[in-house]
Amino acid sequence: MAVDRLPYQNSAGFVKAHGLYDPRYEHDSCGVGFVARLDGIPRHSVVVDAIQVLENLEHRGAVGGDKSTGDGCGVLVQIPDAFFRSVELDFVLPDPGQYGVGMIFLPSDKKLAHRCQALLENLVEAEGGEVLGWREVPTRSGILGELARSTEPRVAQLFVGPGEWSLEAFERKLYVVRKLAEREVRTWAEDTSQFYVASFSSRTVNYKGMLTARQLPTYFQDLKDPLFESPFALLHERYSTNTLPTWSLAQPFRFVAHNGEINTLRGNINRMRAREATLASELFGEDIEKIKPILDESGSDSAIFDNALELLVMAGRSLPHAMMMMVPEAYGPKVSMSADKRAFYEYHAALMEPWDGPATLAFTDGRYVGATLDRNGLRPARYTITKDGCVVLASETGVLDIAPENILGACGQGACFSWI
Amino acid sequence: MFLVDLKQKRVVPDNEIKAKIARRRPYRHWLRDNRIVLRGMFAPASSPAAKPGELVRLQHTFGYTNEELKMILAPMAARGQEPVGSMGNDAALAVFSDRPQLLFSYFKQLFAQVTNPPIDPLREELVMSLESFVGREKNVLDETPGHYGGLKLYHPILTIEDLRRVRASAHPGLKAVDIDILFPADGDGRDLEEALERVFREAEERIAEGYTILILTDRHVDEDHVPIPSLLAASGLHHHLIRRGLRNDAAIVLETGEAREVMHFALLIGYGTDAVCPYVAFKTVHDLAVTGMLGVDKSPEEAMDDYITAIKKGLLKTMSRMGISTIHSFFGSQIFEAIGIDKDVVDRYFTATASRIQGIGLDEIARESCMRHRKGFPKDGKPSKLLDPGGAYHERRGGEKHLWTTEAIYKLQQAVRTNDYALFKEYTRLIDDQSEQHVTLRSLLKFKKREPVPLEEVEPVDSIVKRFVSAAMSFGSISRETHETIAIAMNRLGAKSNSGEGGEDPARYVLLPNGDSKRSAIKQIASGRFGVTTEYAINADELQIKIAQGAKPGEGGQLPGHKVTAEIARVRHTTPGVTLISPPPHHDIYSIEDLAQLIYDLKTVNPRARVSVKLVSEVGVGTIASGVAKANADMVLISGHDGGTGASPLSSIKHTGLPWELGLAETQQSLIQNRLRDRIRVQVDGQLKTGRDVAIAALLGAEEFGFGTAVLVTLGCVLMRKCHLNSCPVGVATQDPRLRARFAGKPEYVERFMRFVAQELREYMAELGFRTVDEMVGRTDVLEPDRLEGHWKASKVDLSAILELPANGNGKPALHATRRHERRADTPLEAELMQLAEPALKHRKPVEISLPIRNVDRTVGARLSGEIVRLHGAKGLPDDTIRVNFTGSAGQSFGAFLAPGVTLKVSGDANDYLGKSMSGGRIIVVPPEGATFQPHDNVIVGNVVLYGATGGEVYINGIAGERFAVRNSGASAVVEGVGDHGCEYMTGGVVVVIGPTGNNFAAGMSGGIAYVYDPTELFDTRCNLDMVDLETVWDPEDEAQLRRMLERHYAYTRSARAKMILDNWQAHLPLFVKVMPIDYRKSLERMRMEEDRDRETVAATEEVYNA
């Protein structure tokens, strides 16, 4: 099947509104989860297990107009330091934690890709960081479906040293660079829609794409390397209502993997926009202007949620705190709850409205790995903890083979632990 | 929250992490010190008496009609809830109406379908909230005591007294100021625009001066000043302030005479108004109470309170229709679509709202306001004492135009009775000719001139009618006679009738002696799952998942107990006299992948049936239809907003959903763009009445067509719109035996109607040069918009977006379905199971099977059960004929549609939807061999167990997730603990819980019994007591039943908890609570009395019914 791009479609596969079609009304949903080792020791088996979980959730995802193009899947893991030390790099890798990795989708047009790369390098340096170098991520395009290939980006990793930045500010500075780059390329005349930063962090790195679970480890050869280790892996399998191959909308995003739907998105977007004017933070100082607009409105509801969460976390709230703020429990008079917690929710209600809708949200910032549900528990989540310190959480149970005698406990929402 | 802390190397429990965060700062003190509320909000609303003559002037100015007073405001004030109506909406769209319309009527509400669930605001009230904060919002990246500084409102409706308090506020953080929203009398669009600019400018200045509450008011309306439509002013300001980065600096409060219906308030809040004071509505309610127009004796104060209550309830309903639980997030969420408004106006004042057919601009909006204003302030003296008659709901002389006129109804009925095609053509002319006044979008489309073909070369009537279906109407909403007559007619034609929700009497599956069949080819699967048994599923040619209904999308339904006769109860597998509630969402479809799972379930139990999904037209329905296609549905039905209903709130009938023309065209475009059109058929319904309607539907992309209201009219319906009152005078929509005796419809009438429509369609086809319907589907190039130069509003409508033919980068795209769905091959596990069970299936010989199972093995048991019922009938096989022992994790829908005679046991665990629609048999779930954890502390099965089950037994040695036994009507179950919403909407069966329960147990539970082991004695705090009583287990019969179930539970699962209880029965028995629905007890008592008197149950229900 020959696939041409549509007249109203850009190189990343996004379609503009035309006729009665408007991309704002697209939806997606999925299977979601994570695998983690409580001891925090990176292991390759965690990555293997996560991919196994994805395969066992495949029926929750979907394939589109051609049989081999998935709606997208991916894993968000800790930076696999041992692996990066084992591959050939044309620069010296600093100690673990002393460097950041950008997982960058570049335009397939070579010239444009170079421009994007140069832009990122310039921005890193202008902001005071140190560009260490690039690594081309080996990928196997041959296994992609026609649709996925029609918008496939070039995938490269940018390594950045802290330069003048303090380690405490590292994540925040990388965030600023990313936001500046996103804003800049949007002003270019060329079609830069393929440019996308899947992750840019000194803690985590994101491998995702328009792939099926089975394709993921073949497409990204890195994932098969025994030295590719992580103590956790956030995972996501997507089912979208369209067949448009948009790589950037595959999940996880930089902090969350989301199964569900934000019903109140338009209101949330408007209010975040209204808030931009009053944003101020000691941590950001003057940089605060560089990160606006906070939300990338071309993203899906999940992507926009991730944008807002990221802001709260970067400005100093802990990840669980930010999640409680954006997805609060119901605290009405009929709910029995501690007085302090009720006060917490009411206080924060005056700061931010809930991002309301059915959801299972798995999240991580490299230290915490967790999941939360919407106030009505409308999406499923089950988890199992093993005696040898492994935690598996997913939309379904039984996604990983665990010997019965190794099970410490198993739970789901509404019971055992109070969920949300 | 479930949290792993990799630094501390442990799992942090939910309560620990949340307590730690909640105590980071003294939030509780901050709240106590800074909370501002309006004192007096709970005092009775003071009643403002209007000056004589002033009220009617205001009512004219704000466009009040007599109909609104009678049908909307009076019922709200009298009963505290929105009025209910029936049948579909056949009035003109606002943009076609010649009469001035409120700007509110150019908007339609959006609603949740498939990709997110609507909420039940009554039964799941605990998650809902109308609270909000009004005032200046501070930097979100910081937190100080002062961040909590706004005025806390318990709901967004302010009384006149409340507003006075706001104005008088001396609090430094709450400074209120008035801004007039008026423009010069007889002004045009330019004047209106300037007035809006002035409002915006003034708002900015007031904010700069430190005001934090902007009160937009039209109170100063007079002879020279016209109120700006409140929605335009408020939303325009909201967006203006967002653009200026000032929106969080002040609240927008509206004092307007315009708002009165729930939809008005929903729109205002949805477009960024913080609170509303509807002063003319208050005065009107006061006046109605004083003049005795409420129909009940009530003081003006009480009437006002009830009116506010009705609005609050309506707001909750509007929010929950979209799946939104707090008004805080509903605020500014713009869950609406504009229809008939110019794009420039939308972009500027309603930014990012969908508006796809263009329409009126500021000029027309100004003109409509001025027309109303002149009625209130006529140039020559006093306003009329009589209000406009209205006519939006019922056809009225001099009122809004409706399509079903008395003349049209008469002509259609005569035509089908006398088999007179010429008369039928007269009827269609009445409907189709809308040149004087347009009602529908399709009236604005015309056919291009093309080379005709001879009529005899066009596909014959007999073949065309096979594409026709009758719309889903449940037995319960229409009478048995009507339901069966339609089925017979459609079967004679080789077309399809639809069972509607609520099951079907198995007696109808048997042919009548004359060869007729009363069996509905299409069986509907609705959220209530009433009557959805294995037998029902396998007796269908098509299984239709009803996601939404045109007249009330995103809402559930309720069949009051007095309407549940013995016959209805039998068909629905419930108890006579017990209220039946259909939840707003399907509890197994919260998301698109869930829909894919339900489709998989249905195709597993009945591989022969095609599966269709019914959606309602709204913006975005096309993307959902694409998701439905990817979920492997064979057909998607796009329903118009104007579909009929047996009973719905009037505001839902009027303000939700869109015409099918838009939904259908969007679906067609989206399917083509996604290269999915060739694999799914498209059907359309919604006030299809004539051959022309069908021709346009085909050209816009439909290949099948549904008829509802028109079919009822052929059978005698005269659109009295009384279906919800059970007093249908022609016996069509009533269960009253006396009225039913008047039913005079015949199958022939329906048949003739279908043939006439097909014949008329053929004539259009010949004219357009199409020989087959397939050739015609999706040919939008044959249509062109008919510009209405004459009409001051309708001429602005632009239908070109509807007619766009999208490309899909793949040469010439398919415009209709060409691929037939192949039957799914059995999975290896299914094949093995079928093979091993063969002796039992064929010779009823007992078999025992052992197999491993994984989570990817879904809907295990349904394939087998479908076969059993097909071969052996609904009674299935003798108990335990087929025993299957699985080890591992069972996938979703384990044991769905299970038939009598099958016992499934899992050693391991299971996922969501276990025992969905279970009709018999037994499911046992136990922890895996070798497991060392405590079963009663661990979750072993997922959410939504036994959804819609009608029989069978379930024993679970472990805890279940949320919504255990939701809508169960016959299964019995024992489980060691359940999550939130246990036994929700249950109507029958018995559930025993010997462990903890979550919140909201027994919400909406109208039948069946639950026994809960409650050593804490705190169960009543977690139980929803609205419909149930809690008792001890004192009755020896109950005790015996409970003990028997626990003994069996122990026998099947070796549950340690069950053993502990049984071993010391006398000590533990008092710790059990019996959950007894109030309705159910009454019905049981009544039935028992009847038994004692040795009479039939039918008589008992007659009594219930007549009561």
Domain ranges (residues) in chain B: 3-34, 54-81+109-376, 406-803, 847-1080
Phi, psi for residue B227 in degrees, rounded to 5: -70, 135
Calpha distance B333→A265 (Å, rounded)? 7
What confidence score (pLDDT) does residue A191 get? 93
B13 CB near a chain A CB, below 8 Å? Answer: yes
**May I ask the CATH architecture of the domain B406-803?**
Alpha-Beta Barrel (3.20)
Is A418 within the bounds of a domain?
Answer: no
B577 CB near a chain A CB, below 8 Å? Answer: no
CB contact under 8 A, A377 and B980: yes
Calpha distance B1045→B139 (Å, rounded)? 59
List the 354-373 stretch of B: residues with Cβ below 8 A of A: 354, 356
CB contact under 8 A, A340 and B932: no
Asked whether the beta carbons of B644 and B500 are under 8 A apart, the reply is no
CB contact under 8 A, A330 and B117: no
CB contact under 8 A, B6 and A232: yes
CA distance A257 to chain B (A): 14
CA distance B1011 to chain A (A): 18
B808 CB near a chain A CB, below 8 Å? Answer: yes
What confidence score (pLDDT) does residue B776 get? 96
CA distance A75 to chain B (A): 17
CB contact under 8 A, A351 and B143: yes
- Find the CB nearest B888 among A40, A64, A398: A398
Burial of B389 (0-12, 13-18, 19+ CB in 10 A): middle
B935 CB near a chain A CB, below 8 Å? Answer: no
Indicate the DSSP class of residue B472: P
Is A20 within the bounds of a domain?
Answer: no
Number of structural domains, chain A? 1
What confidence score (pLDDT) does residue B511 get? 95
Residue A397's CATH number? 3.60.20.10
Query: What CATH class is the domain B54-81+109-376?
Result: alpha beta
Question: Closest Cα partner for B329 from B137, B136, B130?
Answer: B130
> Across the 1107 residues of chain B, what is the mean pLDDT of every consecutive 10-residue run?
93 92 95 83 59 89 94 93 80 86 95 89 90 90 90 93 90 92 96 98 97 96 97 98 94 97 97 96 94 89 94 94 92 94 96 93 96 93 86 73 90 97 96 83 93 97 97 88 97 96 92 96 95 96 92 81 84 88 93 93 96 94 92 95 78 88 95 91 95 97 96 93 85 90 95 98 97 96 84 88 80 84 85 96 96 96 97 96 97 97 97 97 96 89 96 96 95 96 96 94 95 94 94 95 98 97 97 95 84 45 35
Is A4 within the bounds of a domain?
Answer: no
Calpha distance B95→B306 (Å, rounded)? 33
CB contact under 8 A, A274 and B242: yes
- Find the CB nearest B7 among A232, A367, A396: A367
What confidence score (pLDDT) does residue B47 get? 58
B contact test, residue of A60, A232, A261, A264 with most B CBs within 10 A = A264
CA distance A309 to chain B (A): 11
Q: Find the Cα–Cα–Cα–Cα dihedral B461, B463, B468, B474, rounded to 10°.
A: 110
Phi, psi for residue B950 in degrees, rounded to 5: -115, -10
- Find the CB nearest B942 among A15, A39, A412: A412
**May I ask the CATH architecture of the domain B847-1080?**
3 Solenoid (2.160)
Show residues of chain B in contact with A281, CB under 8 Å. Answer: 139, 141-142
Residues of A taking part in catalysis = 30
Is A17 within the bounds of a domain?
Answer: no
Show residues of chain A in contact with B6, CB under 8 Å. Answer: 36, 38, 40, 231-232, 366-369
Calpha distance B797→B780 (Å, rounded)? 18
Q: Which two tokens stand for residue B1054?
A: 């070796």
CB contact under 8 A, B248 and A278: yes
Strand B336-338 with B354-355, pairing: parallel
Strands (E), B452-491: 468-470
Show residues of chain B in contact with A372, CB under 8 Å. Answer: 1-2
Across the strands, what pairs with B213? B176, B251
Is A313 within the bounds of a domain?
Answer: yes
* A-B contacts (CB, under 8 Å): 433
H/E element holding B852?
A: strand B847-853
Identity (one letter) of the amino acid at B998?
A: G
HEC readout, B995-1060: CCCCCCECCCCCEEEEEEECCCCCHHHHECCCCEEEEECCCHHHHHHHHHHHHHHHHHHCCHHHHH
Q: Residues 6 or more apart from B722 whose CB is under 8 A from it?
A: B86, B728, B729, B733
Q: Considering only alpha carbons, which residue of chain B is nearest residue A237? A: B593
CB contact under 8 A, B932 and A418: no
CB contact under 8 A, A358 and B591: yes
- Find the CB nearest A279 among B139, B597, B996: B139
Strand B847-853 with B882-890, pairing: parallel
Calpha distance B944→B914 (Å, rounded)? 7
CB contact under 8 A, A20 and B622: yes
| Unique residue bearing structure tokens 């009398």 | B185
In tens digits, what is the pLDDT along chain A, a chain of 420 residues?
Answer: 345 666 677 887 777 777 777 777 777 667 899 999 999 999 999 999 999 999 999 888 766 556 677 788 999 999 999 999 999 999 999 999 999 999 999 999 999 999 999 999 999 999 999 999 999 999 999 999 888 898 999 999 999 999 999 999 999 999 999 999 999 999 999 999 999 999 999 999 999 999 989 999 999 999 999 999 999 999 998 887 766 768 999 999 999 999 988 888 888 999 999 999 899 999 999 999 999 999 998 888 999 999 999 999 999 999 999 999 999 999 988 887 899 999 999 999 999 999 988 889 999 999 999 999 988 888 888 999 999 999 999 999 999 999 999 988 888 765 444 443
CB contact under 8 A, A261 and B591: yes
Question: Closest Cα partner for B55 from B385, B291, B340, B311?
Answer: B385
B198 CB near a chain A CB, below 8 Å? Answer: no
B939 CB near a chain A CB, below 8 Å? Answer: yes
Show residues of chain A in contact with B890, CB under 8 Å. Answer: 398
Question: Closest Cα partner for A243 from B59, B627, B404?
Answer: B627
Calpha distance B473→B645 (Å, rounded)? 8
B11 CB near a chain A CB, below 8 Å? Answer: yes
Phi, psi for residue A76 in degrees, rounded to 5: -110, 120
CA distance A145 to chain B (A): 14
Strands of A368-373's sheet, edge to edge?
A: A256-260, A359-364, A368-373, B2-5, B10-12
CB contact under 8 A, A279 and B141: yes
Show residues of chain A in contact with B669, CB under 8 Å. Answer: 19-21
List the 480-519 stretch of B: residues with Cβ below 8 A of A: none
Separation of CA B112 from chain center: 8
Q: Do B54-81+109-376 and B406-803 come out as alike in CATH topology? A: yes
Q: Considering only alpha carbons, which residue of chain B is nearest residue A239? A: B593
CB contact under 8 A, A271 and B248: yes
What confidence score (pLDDT) does residue B45 get? 60
What confidence score (pLDDT) does residue B1099 get? 35
Q: Residues 6 or more apart from B1103 whose CB is under 8 A from it?
A: B1086
| Unique residue bearing structure tokens 């909750």 | B316
CA distance A91 to chain B (A): 30
Please tell me chain B's helix, strand, coil percentages from 3-state DSSP, rounded to the nearest 5. Answer: 40, 15, 45
Residues A300-310: pLDDT tens digits? 899 999 999 99
CA distance A263 to chain B (A): 6
CB contact under 8 A, B940 and A377: no
What confidence score (pLDDT) does residue B477 get? 82
